[in-house]
Chain A
Amino acid sequence: MTELVKAGVAELSIELHNFISSLVFNNNNKLDSDQPFETIGNAFRFAFALGFQSDSRVSLSSKRKDIGVRGFRPEEFRILIEDMAFSEGLSLGAVISEYAESGAIQMKNFFDNGKDILRLLDEKP
């Protein structure tokens, strides 16, 4: 079964991609801004986890941007996604991206409401 599911590519709509990019910590810039993630990979993982937690998937818009294999590899979550991707005939990346898209939307809404992203660990979006 494993060989039948492709890894695919992790992506986000370009708007959300830009958003999670802004959450990546920049050493000397805007220390009082909420930039909790070390890398875009971690920000993407957080978005995916949020989407997966709420079991919510959103299809990506046509304008999208990949995370990059150096930042994130879909195989990391094969154990969670493989059956689903197989049953839907999608790649791991496609399924993960839809969960992440949903999570990123929740994050943006939360953030836009003036809340810090990591509070999502405690609060529902």
Chain B
Amino acid sequence: MRLTHLILSNIGPFRGTHIIDLTTPSASTGYAFFAKNTRGKTTIYNAMRWCLFGEARGRGKIINGKRVDGSSRPIVGDGEILMNDDAYDNDDPQEMSVMLIAEGLSGKIQVTRTAKSSTKFARNDSEMDIRLDVIIGSNPMTSGKEAQKEIESFFPRELERFFFIDGESLEDYTEMMESNSIEGLQDEVNAVLGIPALVKGSDDLTLLRQTLKSKIDKTSKAVKQSTSARDNALAQKRLLQEKLNVASEKQKQLQTVAGKFEETLKKMHVHQELAPLIEELKSLDTQILLKEANLLEAAKEKVSESKVAWKVLLWTQASKFHSELSAQKKKSDDSERSIEKTREDIERIKKNIEDVTGICEECGQPLPNIEKYKMKLKSELSEREEILERLEKSQIHSPDDLIIKLGELQKIKPQADSKERIIKSEAKWKRLSNDLESLREQKRNLNAKVSEEAISSVAELGELKGRQETMIATRTKELQEARKDVKVAELELTRLERLSGNTTQDKASIQLNSTISKIQVAIKNTMSSYREKARNEVEMRASEVFVRLNNMPEVYTGISVDKNFRTKIRNSKGGFERKPSSGLTSMMTISVLDALRQVSGLDAPVFLDTPGRSLDEEHKKELLDYFWQTEGHQFLIFAHSGEYTVEQAVQEHKGMLAKAWTLTFPGDHSTCYKAACQSHDVLYDAAKKQYTCQQCDLIWNTDSKETIVLEVEL
């Protein structure tokens, strides 16, 4: 692929539209942009990256031996932006675009990416509409994601780093290549081999396999469930048949009992006229039972009350004796009291007789008739002693004996209401006894009307009817249970038959899964094999380039790439250069990058920003000699004036350089820079800071920061 035109519009210092024509009749492959800092070298470099991939990243870094890309530069906003500052500040709408036109195997390739503000004076990228259009050969134009896919088809993003090389980042690459990190250039090699795509393909296959596996597992589970359900359904059918048999048997049993029950009812109908009598008999039996129970209680009560019946009888006589003894007791008590008083009188009289002195106690004079008085007292004493003797003789029973006897009699004395209670309980018993006899009489009369045989027959039929009713209830319940079991079994069978369905193993999925598995193994093996081949090829190609680039090829014989893709400079002694110069190291790095580019097989221009950095003069020349070789790829350098001068480059690489341009600001010119004029006859207006060409009237302001692209005449 050869780049033919680059059209920049309002990007970086390029205000307005700038068309850079790379077409040339010669076969030379070298292109150069010469400029001082800030004139737009890196802007062109970034413009192409943005056009192709939609972003222009800042310089990356090497962290732990692994390259990490810089952050994406915004189109608009604060800080360093892609859009031209003047366009950003003043245009409405704000618009920036880059167009690449190239010739490829498929014909003309035209890529246009445009960023246009969607609002008035957009202040961030979310307010910008990005449009991408791609036309390849005679194919219709594609836009958006489709267009991006088209770009990736001829310029994979992973390979960008081998074609857009930043000289200022060479040291980073070098560090990465020499790093002890196990990864080294692994990502780069993977990119060259298209391994990310393979890995992505493998990942996609893994995802596909997971889906398939899930489907297979699901199907297998369903098949397993179906088989199990079929087995269960068969067992359930047998169970259902058993339940049906049971239900049928229960139905028959119920019918048999019902038939017998009907017969019993017919027989009972024959004895229907006896029924009331029998019912009455039953009622009498019940009443008799009840009455007997009552009579038993009454009999017990009568027995209990009659425990003292003999006392009632006996007391009619004993009470008289009791009264006599009570009278005796009273008499005895009276006599006792009289005896006691008499004794006290006797004692008092005796004392008086002894105490008589014949002298008056009050007046102390001798008493008259003292002897007469003494005789009177003795007579009283004698009288009292006779009374006492008589009283003592009259007392037959002692009071204590009488108390004992009265106590004994008290034991056989009934309660006042004993007789009444006994009579009452006896009357109650008698009444109940008569009632019972009456009931029995009624029963005897009824029994005379209904024969025992009939009663027995009716009773038996009644019992039979009762038993049959119970049996019918039992059989009905059993039948209901059996029918319920049948219903449950039928439902279960239906469920199992539905589960058993027509599920079959998904053989196609299994086969596909197996195939994908094999493909994944093949991919893995291929990647492993490719890596080793790639390592060999990178080592070989890098060595070839390095030998051509370095100025002591007899000493520095090549580059070694180990299995972890770490690189070292090999010397003629068969060892590795331990302390190579920075120039030599840069050469090694460029060699390896170019080797990777070659191995990638991608036919695309190479863009090298600030190529001569870190290189001495000899190596700088060697570098351009190598890359600007004829029949090679287009090789565009964006050189700082300190790296290469225009004159030197043109002089030293005449024939190799197809086209060259300078990028300048107007202020860089003190003569007319118009290609057709180039007059030195200019006037400078210091107040306005502007030059005016006196020949062609070109006016340019020395404060302007708008880049001028001028093609160098070779």
Binding site for B on A (CB under 8 A): 25, 27-28, 31-32, 35-38, 42, 45-46, 48-50, 52-53, 55, 76-80, 116, 118-122
Query: Which A residues are in CB contact (< 8 Å) with B430?
Result: 116
Within 8 Å by CB of B310, from A46, A78, A79, A122, lies A46
26 cross-chain CB contacts under 8 A:
A27-B296, A31-B292, A31-B296, A32-B295, A32-B437, A36-B302, A37-B303, A38-B307, A42-B306, A42-B307, A46-B309, A48-B310, A48-B314, A49-B310, A50-B313, A52-B313, A52-B317, A53-B314, A78-B408, A79-B408, A80-B317, A80-B412, A118-B422, A121-B309, A121-B312, A121-B423
Query: Which B residues are in CB contact (< 8 Å) with A31?
Result: 292, 295-296, 299, 433, 436
Interchain CB contact under 8 A, A37 and B437 = no
Given contacts A116-B430, A118-B422, contact A35 B303 (CB under 8 A): yes
Distance (Å) between the CB of A80 and the closest chain B CB?
A: 6
Query: Which B residues are in CB contact (< 8 Å) with A48?
Result: 310, 314
B409 close to chain A: CB less than 8 A: yes
Interchain CB contact under 8 A, B314 and A121 = no
Q: Mark B291-302 against chain A: 1 for CB-CB distance below 8 A, else 0.
A: 010011001101
Q: From DSSP, what is the main secondary structure of chain B's interface residues?
A: helix
- In this complex, the member of A36, A42, A80, A120 whose beta carbon has the largest number of chain B beta carbons within 10 angstroms is A36
A45 and chain B: residue at smallest CB distance: B310
Interchain CB contact under 8 A, B423 and A122 = yes
Interchain CB contact under 8 A, B292 and A79 = no
Given A79-B408, A118-B306; 11 other pairs, CB 8 A cutoff: A25-B299, A27-B296, A42-B306, A46-B306, A49-B309, A49-B311, A49-B312, A49-B313, A50-B313, A80-B314, A116-B426
Interchain CB contact under 8 A, A121 and B313 = yes
Enumerate B165-182 residues with CB–CB distance to A below 8 Å.
none
B304 close to chain A: CB less than 8 A: yes
The distance in angstroms between the C-alpha atoms of A31 and B303, with both chains bound, is: 12
The distance in angstroms between the C-alpha atoms of A116 and B306, with both chains bound, is: 12
The distance in angstroms between the C-alpha atoms of A108 and B312, with both chains bound, is: 19
Query: Which A residues are in CB contact (< 8 Å) with B412?
Result: 76-77, 80
Query: Which A residues are in CB contact (< 8 Å) with B302?
Result: 36, 118
Distance (Å) between the CB of B321 and the closest chain A CB?
A: 7
Q: How many residues of B contact A (CB 8 A)?
A: 32
Query: Which B residues are in CB contact (< 8 Å) with A32?
Result: 295, 433, 436-437
The distance in angstroms between the C-alpha atoms of A32 and B437, with both chains bound, is: 8
The distance in angstroms between the C-alpha atoms of A77 and B405, with both chains bound, is: 11
Within 8 Å by CB of B313, from A36, A37, A79, A120, lies A120
Interchain CB contact under 8 A, A36 and B303 = yes
Given contacts A38-B307, A79-B408, contact A118 B295 (CB under 8 A): no
Q: From DSSP, what is the main secondary structure of chain A's interface residues?
A: helix
Name the 4 nearest CB pairs between A and B, nearest first: A49-B313, A45-B310, A49-B314, A79-B408
Distance (Å) between the CB of B412 and the closest chain A CB?
A: 8
B318 close to chain A: CB less than 8 A: yes
The distance in angstroms between the C-alpha atoms of A50 and B412, with both chains bound, is: 14
Query: Which B residues are in CB contact (< 8 Å) with A119?
Result: 426
A78 and chain B: residue at smallest CB distance: B408
The distance in angstroms between the C-alpha atoms of A119 and B312, with both chains bound, is: 12
Query: Which B residues are in CB contact (< 8 Å) with A76?
Result: 412
Given contacts A25-B299, A49-B311, A118-B423, contact A80 B318 (CB under 8 A): yes
Distance (Å) between the CB of A39 and the closest chain B CB?
A: 9
The distance in angstroms between the C-alpha atoms of A119 and B430, with both chains bound, is: 11
The distance in angstroms between the C-alpha atoms of A87 and B419, with both chains bound, is: 33
The distance in angstroms between the C-alpha atoms of A79 and B314, with both chains bound, is: 12
Distance (Å) between the CB of B436 and the closest chain A CB?
A: 6
The distance in angstroms between the C-alpha atoms of A37 and B307, with both chains bound, is: 7
Query: Which A residues are in CB contact (< 8 Å) with B295?
Result: 31-32
B316 close to chain A: CB less than 8 A: yes
Distance (Å) between the CB of B437 and the closest chain A CB?
A: 6
Query: Which A residues are in CB contact (< 8 Å) with B317?
Result: 52-53, 55, 80
B316 and chain A: residue at smallest CB distance: A53
The distance in angstroms between the C-alpha atoms of A116 and B309, with both chains bound, is: 13
Enumerate B302-334 residues with CB–CB distance to A below 8 Å.
302-304, 306-307, 309-314, 316-318, 321
The distance in angstroms between the C-alpha atoms of A25 and B306, with both chains bound, is: 11
Interchain CB contact under 8 A, A53 and B426 = no
The distance in angstroms between the C-alpha atoms of A48 and B412, with both chains bound, is: 13
Interchain CB contact under 8 A, B303 and A46 = no
A118 and chain B: residue at smallest CB distance: B426
Interchain CB contact under 8 A, A37 and B321 = no
The distance in angstroms between the C-alpha atoms of A27 and B300, with both chains bound, is: 8
The distance in angstroms between the C-alpha atoms of A37 and B422, with both chains bound, is: 12
Interchain CB contact under 8 A, B313 and A46 = yes
The distance in angstroms between the C-alpha atoms of A116 and B321, with both chains bound, is: 29
Query: Which B residues are in CB contact (< 8 Å) with A42?
Result: 306-307, 309-310
Distance (Å) between the CB of B308 and the closest chain A CB?
A: 9
Q: Mark B428-441 against chain A: 1 for CB-CB distance below 8 A, else 0.
A: 00100100110000
The distance in angstroms between the C-alpha atoms of A80 and B410, with both chains bound, is: 12
Query: Which A residues are in CB contact (< 8 Å) with B409?
Result: 79
Interchain CB contact under 8 A, B321 and A80 = yes
Distance (Å) between the CB of A47 and the closest chain B CB?
A: 8
Given contacts A79-B408, A121-B309, contact A52 B299 (CB under 8 A): no
B420 and chain A: residue at smallest CB distance: A121
Given contacts A32-B295, A45-B310, contact A38 B303 (CB under 8 A): yes
The distance in angstroms between the C-alpha atoms of A55 and B426, with both chains bound, is: 26
Within 8 Å by CB of B299, from A35, A45, A120, lies A35
The distance in angstroms between the C-alpha atoms of A109 and B313, with both chains bound, is: 17
Query: Which A residues are in CB contact (< 8 Å) with B312?
Result: 49, 121
Distance (Å) between the CB of B396 and the closest chain A CB?
A: 13
Query: Which B residues are in CB contact (< 8 Å) with A55?
Result: 317
Within 8 Å by CB of A79, from B306, B405, B433, lies B405
A46 and chain B: residue at smallest CB distance: B310
Within 8 Å by CB of A36, from B296, B306, B311, B314, lies B306
A31 and chain B: residue at smallest CB distance: B295
The distance in angstroms between the C-alpha atoms of A121 and B316, with both chains bound, is: 10
Query: Which A residues are in CB contact (< 8 Å) with B311?
Result: 49
Query: Which B residues are in CB contact (< 8 Å) with A45?
Result: 310, 314
The distance in angstroms between the C-alpha atoms of A121 and B409, with both chains bound, is: 20
B295 and chain A: residue at smallest CB distance: A31
Distance (Å) between the CB of B394 and the closest chain A CB?
A: 20
Distance (Å) between the CB of A113 and the closest chain B CB?
A: 15
Query: Which B residues are in CB contact (< 8 Å) with A53?
Result: 313-314, 316-317
Query: Which B residues are in CB contact (< 8 Å) with A118?
Result: 302, 306, 309, 422-423, 426
Enumerate B328-365 residues with CB–CB distance to A below 8 Å.
none
Within 8 Å by CB of A38, from B306, B313, B321, B419, lies B306
Interchain CB contact under 8 A, A121 and B408 = no
A36 and chain B: residue at smallest CB distance: B306
The distance in angstroms between the C-alpha atoms of A46 and B399, with both chains bound, is: 32
Query: Which B residues are in CB contact (< 8 Å) with A50?
Result: 313
Query: Which A residues are in CB contact (< 8 Å) with B423?
Result: 118, 121-122
- In this complex, the member of A27, A49, A76 whose beta carbon has the largest number of chain B beta carbons within 10 angstroms is A49
Query: Which A residues are in CB contact (< 8 Å) with B299?
Result: 25, 31, 35
Query: Which A residues are in CB contact (< 8 Å) with B292?
Result: 31
Interchain CB contact under 8 A, A121 and B303 = no
Distance (Å) between the CB of B313 and the closest chain A CB?
A: 4
Distance (Å) between the CB of A121 and the closest chain B CB?
A: 6
The distance in angstroms between the C-alpha atoms of A80 and B300, with both chains bound, is: 31
A122 and chain B: residue at smallest CB distance: B423
